[in-house]
Amino acid sequence: KNEVEQSPQNLTAQEGEFITINCSYSVGISALHWLQQHPGGGIVSLFMLSSGKKKHGRLIATINIQEKHSSLHITASHPRDSAVYICAVLSRMDSNYQLIWGAGTKLIIKP
Amino acid sequence: TAGITQAPTSQILAAGRSMTLRCTQDMRHNAMYWYRQDLGLGLRLIHYSNTAGTTGKGEVPDGYSVSRANTDDFPLTLASAVPSQTSVYFCASSPTPVGIQYFGAGTRLSVL
Average pLDDT over residues B65-71: 97
Backbone φ and ψ for A56, nearest 5 degrees, come out as: -145, 105
- What is the per-residue pLDDT for B70? 96
Contact B16, B36 (CB under 8 A): no
Those residues with Cβ within 8 angstroms of residue A82's Cβ, 6 or more apart along the chain or in another chain: A39, A107, A108, A109
Q: Is the pLDDT of residue B1 over 70?
A: no
pLDDT 10s per residue in chain A (111 long)? 679 999 999 999 999 999 999 999 999 999 999 999 988 778 999 999 999 999 999 999 999 999 999 999 999 999 999 999 999 999 887 777 888 999 999 999 999
3-state secondary structure of A80: helix
CB contact under 8 A, A102 and B42: yes
Of all residues in chain A, the one with the smallest CA distance to B5 is: A42
Contact A86, A34 (CB under 8 A): yes
Contact B98, A90 (CB under 8 A): yes
Contact A8, A71 (CB under 8 A): no
B5-63 tens-digit pLDDT:
999 999 999 999 999 999 999 999 999 999 999 987 788 999 999 999 999 999 899 99
CB contact under 8 A, B97 and A48: no
| A→B interface, C-beta within 8 Å | 4, 30-31, 33, 41-45, 48, 86, 88, 90, 96-99, 101-104
> Omega before B83 cis (within 30°)?
no
- What is the per-residue pLDDT for A1? 60
